[in-house]
Amino acid sequence: MRDVAVLGVGLNSKWGELWEMSLRDIFVEAALNALDDAGVDRVDSIVVGCMTSGLFVGQEHLGSLMSDYLGMNPVAATRVESACASGGAAFRQGFLEVASGAADIVLVGGVEKMTDVGGDEATYALSAASDMEYEAYHGITFPGLYALVARAHMHRFGTTREQLAHVAVKNHRHGARNPVAQYPYEITVEDVLASVMVADPLRVLDCSPITDGAAAAVLCPVETARKLSKKPVVKVLASAQASSTIALHSRKDLTWFESTAEAAQKAYRMAGKRPEDIDVAEVHDCFTIAEIVVLEALGLVERGKGGQAAASGMTALGGKIPVNTSGGLKSKGHPVGATGVAQVVEITRQLRGESGPRQVEGARVGLTQNMGGTGGSSVVHIFETV
Amino acid sequence: MANPARYWREIPQRYRLEAGKCRTCGTVFFPPRLVCAQCRSRSFETVRLSDEGTLVTYTVIRVGPSQFADQTPYAVGIVELDGGVRITAQIVDCDFEKLAVGLRLRVEFRRIQKQGEAGILCYGYKCVPA
């Protein structure tokens, strides 16, 4: 396999309720930003990550749509779906195309346009990431499913309600330094504990929001990046993916994401790195409890200690292992199909030293973890400046 | 959207808790599958799950989908039925304060949701304190 680099990255200028922008415009704006950052205007292939544009706006066939509106026909363009891990899975497909030699320059983008429907339809669309016949049928929602995980984690490890809140507080503190973030302001533990209950014990400030947004990255061989780019070259050290049961109730251990642990083990092996080598990480905090369990499954935090990690400042900027410097899904927003690619955008900028007020000093090795449903799928990537 | 065929084909599971037991390794799957995830065998017999079990984890849904509007707020949990198979089900006829990990429950046949503008009724299992 060829060594692969991230040549360029891009987001929209702002994430949130983008009323004036359509699905295609959101995607194309982020893609053009990534192409400009990469300094290229031609690609061999386009991969689009998107969870459910069919349910959100009634549009499928995003490969053709985006290739057309980028003015790039007739390049090959395909959509990749893995629920909330669609972006990570799309990035992995782009990586594999370049690594295999099937393409030299690939544009990977992720997008979700979520605010063209009301809250009820959005809840329905997102529930399609669960088992529709044996979970959603019985009235469980996504906040509800993660509430089941939270209750199990609290019961087994003594994780507290306040520790959950600290995850949201920390990610909002980071997001306040990110102008793209949907909610770029700080909140307090008291704010979280006083917010509306959605699914006990999770409150609305434990939940990532409904967001319109896109993210994009341009991939090429490391050798090409060295010739084309004046910026530090960010190499993709590892790309790994794993699956677990679609239904949460089918898992023996409800306090663990097997797909994340499995993908992480594969990624560390491929990269020749250990958890303690990671300088900065972007992980899937769709709900506060998710970040806690994910950090344990990644081996970045000791089992059962995920709650303490947020409360102690270990995972904050300036801490031992800063997590979600972008603000995470919680503060930056969670346009589901875009999230996995946006994590790559943040880590690339961190490793290039371009993150301004939220820069992790001296960051050389970064990790992204993107998760579908309640962990039915997970994608982990590891990056290093070379 | 209660497509009749989609609803009808799940009736053996939702009304009668019919599961598939692997004839080779004995693992029970609910709903039934075509291939065993443990031993890859493709031979199964139909068995009925126990209608008693224990609450493993739970939540109270305060913001629910429209099909459940007339029931919100409602409790949902993961229940380990005697024999080991776990299901997701509503916990009803139980004060929210009495919900607790380890609570003994019994499965009952109930109305689950009301779909669409016509209000088509869909049935299945819910759990009540034993």
Per-residue pLDDT of A237-256, as tens digits, reads 999 999 999 999 999 999 99
| Residue from the list A120, A144, A202 with its beta carbon closest to the beta carbon of B76 | A144
Q: Contact at 8 Å (CB) between A279 and A360? A: yes
Cis before A357? omega within 30: no
Contact B124/A138, CB-based, under 8 Å? yes
Closest residue in B to A254 (Cα) is B57
Domain boundaries, chain A: 4-118+210-228, 140-208+236-385
- Alpha carbon of B49: minimum distance to chain A alpha carbons (Å): 15
Residue B3 confidence (pLDDT):
81
Per-residue pLDDT of A135-149, as tens digits, reads 999 999 999 999 999
Contact B87/A137, CB-based, under 8 Å? no
Strands A365-372 and B18-22: unpaired
Contact A200/B59, CB-based, under 8 Å? yes
Burial per residue of A280-309, b for 16 or more beta-carbon CB atoms within 10 angstroms, e otherwise: bbbbbbbbbbbbbbbbbbbbbbeeebbbbb
Instruction: Decide if A334 is catalytic.
Output: yes
Residue A328 confidence (pLDDT):
98
Residue A219 has pLDDT above 70, yes or no: yes
Per-residue pLDDT of A159-182, as tens digits, reads 999 999 999 999 999 999 999 999
Instruction: Decide if A220 is catalytic.
Output: no
Residue B47 confidence (pLDDT):
98
As a whole number of Å, the CA-based R_g of chain A is 19
Residue A191 confidence (pLDDT):
98
State the Cα–Cα distance between residues B89 and A16, nearest whole angstrom: 34
Residue A101 confidence (pLDDT):
98
State the Cα–Cα distance between residues B107 and A220, nearest whole angstrom: 56
Among the residue ranges A350-359, B59-68, B97-106, the one predicted with the least confidence is B59-68
State the Cα–Cα distance between residues B76 and A145, nearest whole angstrom: 9
Task: Give me A123's structure tokens.
Answer: 């809840």
CATH of domain A4-118+210-228: 3.40.47.10
- Of all helices (H) and strands (E), which one includes residue A215? strand A213-221
Smallest Cα–Cα separation from A256: which of A331, A157, A351?
A157
The pLDDT mean for chain A works out to: 98
State the Cα–Cα distance between residues B72 and B60, nearest whole angstrom: 9
Q: For an interface test with B, which of A117, A127, A131, A134 has the most B Cβ atoms less than 10 Å from its Cβ?
A: A134
Residue B117 confidence (pLDDT):
79
Residue B1 has pLDDT above 60, yes or no: no
Characterise A122 by phi-psi region: left (phi > 0), alpha (psi -120 to 50), beta (else): alpha
Q: Residue B18 forms beta bridges with which residues?
A: B48
For A173, other C-beta atoms within 10 Å of its C-beta total 17
Residue A147 contacts B, CB cutoff 8 Å: yes
Residue B101 contacts A, CB cutoff 8 Å: yes
Beta strands in chain B (DSSP E): 18-22, 28-29, 44-48, 52-61, 74-81, 86-91, 104-115, 120-129
The pair phi, psi for residue A258, each rounded to 5°, is -60, -40
- Confidence grade of residue A155 (pLDDT, cut at 50, 70, 90): very high
Smallest Cα–Cα separation from A176: which of A188, A164, A163?
A188
Closest residue in A to B66 (Cα) is A120
State the Cα–Cα distance between residues A136 and A247, nearest whole angstrom: 10
Residue with tokens 């799928």: A377
Per-residue pLDDT of B101-124, as tens digits, reads 999 999 999 999 988 778 889 999
Residue A135 contacts B, CB cutoff 8 Å: yes
Q: Region A255-279: what's the mean pLDDT?
A: 98
Q: What is the pTM of this model?
A: 0.98
Smallest Cα–Cα separation from A225: which of A312, A139, A321, A351?
A351
Contact A140/B88, CB-based, under 8 Å? yes
Cα–chain center distance at A134: 26
Amino acid at position A301, single letter = V
Q: For the purposes of burial, counting CB atoms within 10 Å of the CB of B76, is it exposed (0-12), middle (13-18) or buried (19 or more)?
A: buried
Contact B65/A148, CB-based, under 8 Å? no
Residue B90 contacts A, CB cutoff 8 Å: yes
Q: How many helices (H) and strands (E) does chain B have?
A: 2, 8
For residue A46, what are the CA distances in angstroms to A5, A35, A52, A107, A224?
Answer: 16, 12, 18, 5, 18
Residue B115 confidence (pLDDT):
83
State the Cα–Cα distance between residues B10 and B33, nearest whole angstrom: 13
For B116, other C-beta atoms within 10 Å of its C-beta total 10
- Confidence grade of residue A152 (pLDDT, cut at 50, 70, 90): very high
Closest residue in A to B80 (Cα) is A249
Strands A45-49 and A106-112: parallel
- Superfamily of segment(s) A140-208+236-385: Thiolase/Chalcone synthase (3.40.47.10)
For A161, other C-beta atoms within 10 Å of its C-beta total 17
Quote ipTM for the complex.
Answer: 0.97
Contact A148/B10, CB-based, under 8 Å? no
Per-residue pLDDT of A64-118, as tens digits, reads 999 999 999 999 999 999 999 999 999 999 999 999 999 999 999 999 999 999 9
Contact B31/A199, CB-based, under 8 Å? no
Per-residue pLDDT of A274-326, as tens digits, reads 999 999 999 999 999 999 999 999 999 999 999 999 999 999 999 999 999 99
For B98, other C-beta atoms within 10 Å of its C-beta total 10
Residue B119 confidence (pLDDT):
81
- Of all helices (H) and strands (E), which one includes residue A174? helix A161-175
Residues of A in contact with B10 (CB under 8 A): 133
Residue A10 confidence (pLDDT):
98
Per-residue pLDDT of B13-48, as tens digits, reads 999 999 999 999 999 999 999 999 999 999 999 999
Q: Contact at 8 Å (CB) between B103 and B129? A: yes
Residue B2 confidence (pLDDT):
62
Going by the DSSP 8-state scheme, the letter that residue A258 receives in this structure is H
| Residue from the list A137, A149, A201 with its beta carbon closest to the beta carbon of B112 | A137
Residue B116 confidence (pLDDT):
79
